[in-house]
Structure 1
């Protein structure tokens, strides 16, 4: 590219020009003939005070610029420098717009130049990076960035970034570049100039470009070749190191020998030799910092083979990534073997190349999704998995993803049949000896062939397993969606009736003709009538009696944990039975088309392939509803079955908006199925006992003693009482007496006080994402945001992204809920202060919690004693476990909930915490001083 470029960065008193924002520093790097030729740096006196937060960010104070020229004085030179060059900036709409408004303010002409944005270019060309902030990009690309937030330094590194971008575009396959140029018109300003100019230059070169050996072309897309076999090198002749000396020798130079970890290994290895077909459950509480993951990986690695796999079921994506990216490499380093692990997830997580190819030609999506399409086009030259999580997006709510996600259907007649990522991934699952998955996914797919036969199962963070099983057996029937699925099948069959008749009507088969369509239409009409009768039956016999007149304008939600809804309603069960029959007839008839399609697939047109693909997707949805309806019918017909229902209507006056969800409490059958499926089961967690007693865990999972092989509690060796303290500020208000706004303000106030006075990495744990978001909003209105990088779950990025940013940060604060309460490990000194905003009781108004507790009440159990309090204690212990991971760690906990001192149950909570842990109740000034002394 022979253009000359001016790469600009501005530092300003305010990011908003309308709020009296002024420029305080102008930085510019000139690029000519592919080289940075000049760097300009001009400080500017804004004639308005520079806010403290800007001084903290840029290092520029009023004193630094008092003798500098004003913008009026330097504006002509800046304009002259930029007017005949292509303007480049990292977020060009800020820098160019701000500069032009300043030119206009002083009566000058505005710049009318071509402009390019390096943020969008980076998003497209480096599609797997989790952050496109200039500092993060330069770190990723190994560009030295000495003075972030100094305009001349930022301009210089942005220029270097742009040169890297140009080189990257030059290296792209020509077909990929053509697609980027095609969609580039939707980029900011003239950003597409980069793609168009380089494409023109390369197309002028007459020689044919040859793809690198690792790439190939299919259907206009450039894809990366895959390795279809899992590469594992395992020496099966080695024996498990039974003695202390053998373990020390194995760990020498890699890890310190830990007594607890050694005991855990021995317990697991010994249990794995147990052959009782009933006693398969091993309950193990291993304290944080015990080296739990390697503690189960190492002994079981000696036992897995082609017939017996190791399946690890945990709770969150972050934990799954930790095991695969950190623990498995450590296992390989220790053993000298090369074990390979795969994270097992559903097809929905992978891209469907057929659908993406079609989406590229869908012009209705272009304006909103062009950048995302371009990003994926480049990513396809890099990925061998097709796993959409590799894009590290903050959210995947774009309509494009609802189109391009894989539905799991086979691709026999697709041009991408040999490139299908889901088929490839299934083969990887079947070949891999170590599989990591989500507990809920395991519960829903217990019968999957992925798990192998007679394998070992480790349930990590086992205190969640009962909840995961209940989630897996708690489906929903949405009557609007059911109607939508049936209508789509009807529309596909009718709109493609000629294509189907032509393909399948033969003298010998007569598989599909006009009479078939008529027959199907009678089933569709029967389904419509049955759904309407079911909706009005439920509405008339139950909902109408439960909703007060004044509530009928609102969203309707009714909980029923006593099966009052289904009692003595024989008509409802008959209607549900009839609906299942009619839906089954529709689904089965559609599947006969699939059978014939597969039988004569060598003679199938592309048009018919698309019809069958769409029918497959809708029929799969219908099959899921059929399964859920059948489960609902069985539940209603089983008076002893313990479950609860939630009935919802988006509009009280429209029964068609009915949605039925149910929460299965009784999970004994699922526990039995899990027991039968695996050779040995290890339920492991840092907090699964209450005061050294497994009774709560056993009650929650509904295990019986005949299924339990051993129960082991490993002692805490981390001297947490010496390395940590809990602080409760004196004069804390009773949080139950505060309204929401008062509570948000109180929490924010304490956080600001800590961050303003203590210079230590801090994590803040919330019970609710809503509270987290409200506190985040308030923090962003304070000066704290200028001194600290504030990372917030569900706000500033994916869990994985904010965890990584916190781990490399120096002045970072992380606001987390849910998954951040447990299993998240940080390196030494990354986390030193933990603020717990309240005792983590589950909300009794949460539908699944209310149903569970209502069922416990029906069994004459004290709900608070057997459920609410134990779960809060376990969650609190998990939270505290984020802090002290090794004997050398030090950290403190600030608890903003005085109920631990004022309520009777507070003593039970304190008694459940590590023995000897100091609990200090003082004023905040004393607390801050003590924390400073303790940590420093």
Structure 2
């Protein structure tokens, strides 16, 4: 085993910074020798100050528990004795080690100067596909016992178990992979190179066979692709009509739902008859199986493929990991399902191989290379969505992603192992193809070149189709991405793309129509022109932003009239220079690449990889040039154009967006008219029991599609109540500040009554932030954990998981939290909607749609703003009851739901539940009685 002693340490502290006087309140050290846990030392530590309520809530450690505990200086000698001649190990070693060093120094002792391992870093390398690298999530995913998260003894012990697990994972890797990891490990932040050196030395000491599931190609180990052949039911074989009966054995509890059976029958009939169908399936209907079962049955009977499209990657993964695996168990016949994404999702192995030979030892690049090396021994898809990369790793991935080929396929020594080609091949033989709205729409634009030909389609999360189509047919240009993308070209004297290509040109005596120094001058001029153009655009944005007092993150619409005005002329002139420069540079480099290709040179592998990388870059460059030309030089009568930005950070925060105002005609002609049968489904499609608004937005008339509403089987009348407070100010009669003050004090009272377990939804980030600050600063919720989107770090998924971990938690969310957040059970008992989710009237797309509706003689509010808000409201309310046993309360603070004529439409569009009205004391009394 390994010759070093490992000391796994965890600390609990009163805060994050010892420099600010924060102290250790508990320490634990687990000793590992010869690959086994041999001892553990744990002690509470007296901090000499009160433990903050948040830390008490987080750790469960209170002042009583540390009363009489030793001060740190009393146990320091014991700690140093444990650490002597050992390796310090911790989960996020920088925090624990630096905190311990500060305490040792303050106590007058020498500090630890030995090596340190970080198990977070090791987790990223050994488990590159983990959803999270947090201690609790890692231990849960490996079913390790972690009885008291955030107490040092439990945390240290589970970290020690994780460390041993990670080492075991490394030992199972083939030597060829480990040797590459060993070289890269020298550039990690912690001293893990010691571990890699030791494992490699031991592996080299004996010969071992490569595992059967792996192969080595050009020095890189990767998983063999499984045989994609599948056994088909013979033509005409009857297929078991009641697969549902088999589900009872595999789903516990499985409820036979009448609505689900009705959905299965309707989807089946729709495909058989070759028509279109729209289904609103309420929460609990079992929508996914409701369309997957008949799709699969139809695909097998007709020997034809069915495409399933979703909006979110979460739903795609759920379908593949849950419903499809379930169908594989219960289906009497075998079938094949493929998850198909755009080629940019797949790794180009040739580019990756060459990147391993480069001397780029920047930390994120090194870590990402190590993650990919390990991942390649496990992945069968080569899809980046399987990887959990850092933001720097994502940028490096942009160099490795697939963009097709410039040189002939035969020049790529990895073509036989190519993941993208394999996914396309498997899709050709698949019964079901699962994809996303983005890929679906790209395929339509590319005339069917991306997805194998199909006639039968299911669109889940269909309420996003119109928005997805607008975004996909639109343009998004953000300053930082443009700058990063174009800067990869570099200049002649830099070792970036241009500098490397110039070396290749010299080697093979290749010349362009411009001398390299002339071309370099144009490249350098382009960078200056681009910076100037963006600065001019930022100035136009800032002048218009000044008219809106208070707001910092704003949107400003650019109308066709404004594009004709004098104030826009400097922008247009600056952008004309940028576009002219881009065209010339693109032409020159394309000529050089074409010359290299036509000469049929015997390029070395690293040279071929450079040509492919430059080709990918020029594809992106050409797309960017075309987008600039469309936005700044062409008339965009059917489009809405606007700028997004934060006035505090211009031009860095600047985003230019253009979208078609309406996509109904595009969808009608390019999708619905060309497919035999399309099934559209979602939990939120109707407004006051009518599909009219949704169908109008996607270009279908009621007589062109069968409509079906399936209500949720949950008993909302018993499990949910809608409460409308009558003692808060009316939103349109007071200032924003007064409204926020009114609801904040109300929300504090409600939170205390519900003991947290509360999700508060906002329609604007500014209102969320101010409400969060008022509630936090009130001092009345010190025992509660307040988490807010955009304020508390972490993604939506991370915030949701953290919310479920704490007893007294309040979660503040906006935009994406109105849907797709799934918090079943008692973790969420109260949902508060701060205002009805109308889009702001000056929001560019809303404004442009309103103008068109007015021109048609229609009312923009009733035709667009109201139905859009109702569908969003339904999505918000849908967060509360996720299963039949859930109970909860919805509080709507916006009194327009009661005081306006249109308010009834909101209540009528959600499942029937009790509606109550009253003041805060009524509400608290009622909550205490009911919850």
TM-score bracket for the superposition, by shorter chain length: 0.7 to 0.9
Residue 375 of structure 1 pairs with residue 371 of structure 2:
yes
Q: Secondary structure at the match of 1:677?
A: coil
Does the CA contact (< 8 Å) of 2:285 and 2:711 recur in 1?
A: no
Distance 2:575 2:627 in 1: 11
Partner of residue 469, structure 2: 469
In structure 2, the CA distance between the partners of 1:365 and 1:733, relative to structure 1 (3 Å rule), is: farther
Distance 1:440 1:710 in 2: 25
Partner of residue 426, structure 1: 424
| Residue range with higher mean Cα deviation, 827-836 or 6-15 | 827-836
Partner of residue 223, structure 1: 222
Structure 1, residues 304-356: CA drift from partner, whole Å, max 9, x if none? 15863222222222222222222223333443444443333222223333333
Distance 1:934 1:544 in 2: 56
Distance 2:261 2:388 in 1: 37
Q: Secondary structure at the match of 2:705?
A: strand
Partner of residue 508, structure 1: none
Does the CA contact (< 8 Å) of 1:116 and 1:189 recur in 2?
A: yes
Residue 303 of structure 1 pairs with residue 298 of structure 2:
yes
In structure 2, the CA distance between the partners of 1:257 and 1:740, relative to structure 1 (3 Å rule), is: same
| Residue range with higher mean Cα deviation, 373-382 or 404-413 | 404-413
Partner of residue 180, structure 1: 181
Shift of 1:901: 2.4
Distance 2:487 2:141 in 1: 49
In structure 2, the CA distance between the partners of 1:831 and 1:428, relative to structure 1 (3 Å rule), is: farther
Does the CA contact (< 8 Å) of 1:3 and 1:85 recur in 2?
A: yes
Distance 2:379 2:363 in 1: 25
Q: 1:319 aligns with which of 315, 334, 337?
A: 315
Partner of residue 853, structure 2: 856
Q: Secondary structure at the match of 2:212?
A: coil
Structure 1, residues 706-747: CA drift from partner, whole Å, max 9, x if none? 6x1322223444332222111233422344567677767766
Does the CA contact (< 8 Å) of 2:128 and 2:387 recur in 1?
A: yes
Does the CA contact (< 8 Å) of 1:318 and 1:799 recur in 2?
A: no
Does the CA contact (< 8 Å) of 1:752 and 1:779 recur in 2?
A: yes
Residue 662 of structure 1 pairs with residue 658 of structure 2:
yes
Shift of 1:876: 0.7
Shift of 1:563: 6.6
In structure 2, the CA distance between the partners of 1:545 and 1:812, relative to structure 1 (3 Å rule), is: closer
Structure 1, residues 675-706: CA drift from partner, whole Å, max 9, x if none? 23322011222222221222212322232456
Partner of residue 352, structure 1: 348
Structure 1, residues 38-85: CA drift from partner, whole Å, max 9, x if none? 222223333323334433443433333333333333333333333333
Does the CA contact (< 8 Å) of 1:53 and 1:783 recur in 2?
A: no
Residue 927 of structure 1 pairs with residue 923 of structure 2:
yes
Distance 1:466 1:97 in 2: 52
Partner of residue 104, structure 2: 103
Distance 1:891 1:154 in 2: 34
In structure 2, the CA distance between the partners of 1:607 and 1:461, relative to structure 1 (3 Å rule), is: closer
Distance 2:776 2:606 in 1: 54
Partner of residue 156, structure 2: 155
In structure 2, the CA distance between the partners of 1:303 and 1:809, relative to structure 1 (3 Å rule), is: farther
Q: Secondary structure at the match of 2:416?
A: coil
Give runs of aligned pairs for residues 491-502 of structure 1, distance below 5 A.
Answer: 496=501
Partner of residue 837, structure 2: 840
Q: Secondary structure at the match of 2:88?
A: strand
Distance 2:138 2:457 in 1: 40
Q: Secondary structure at the match of 1:841?
A: coil
Residue 403 of structure 1 pairs with residue 404 of structure 2:
no
Shift of 1:270: 1.8
| Residue range with higher mean Cα deviation, 790-799 or 343-352 | 790-799
Partner of residue 675, structure 2: 678
Shift of 1:673: 0.9
TM-score under structure 1 length normalisation? 0.83
Distance 2:654 2:113 in 1: 57
Does the CA contact (< 8 Å) of 1:115 and 1:189 recur in 2?
A: yes
Shift of 1:868: 0.9
Partner of residue 268, structure 1: 267
Partner of residue 615, structure 2: 616
Does the CA contact (< 8 Å) of 2:45 and 2:72 recur in 1?
A: yes
Partner of residue 93, structure 1: 94
Residue 199 of structure 1 pairs with residue 196 of structure 2:
no
Give runs of aligned pairs for residues 133-172 of structure 1, distance below 5 A.
Answer: 133-172=134-173
Does the CA contact (< 8 Å) of 2:758 and 2:830 recur in 1?
A: yes
Structure 1: runs of 5+ lacking an equivalent: 506-511
Q: Secondary structure at the match of 2:37?
A: strand
In structure 2, the CA distance between the partners of 1:175 and 1:291, relative to structure 1 (3 Å rule), is: same
Shift of 1:866: 0.9
Does the CA contact (< 8 Å) of 2:240 and 2:332 recur in 1?
A: no
Does the CA contact (< 8 Å) of 1:444 and 1:472 recur in 2?
A: yes
Distance 1:139 1:494 in 2: 48
TM-score under structure 2 length normalisation? 0.83
Partner of residue 84, structure 2: 83
Distance 1:574 1:68 in 2: 73
Q: Secondary structure at the match of 2:835?
A: coil
Residue 913 of structure 1 pairs with residue 914 of structure 2:
no
In structure 2, the CA distance between the partners of 1:367 and 1:634, relative to structure 1 (3 Å rule), is: closer
In structure 2, the CA distance between the partners of 1:303 and 1:95, relative to structure 1 (3 Å rule), is: same
Distance 2:149 2:400 in 1: 38
Q: Secondary structure at the match of 1:39?
A: strand
Residue 129 of structure 1 pairs with residue 130 of structure 2:
yes
Partner of residue 34, structure 2: 33
Does the CA contact (< 8 Å) of 2:721 and 2:916 recur in 1?
A: yes
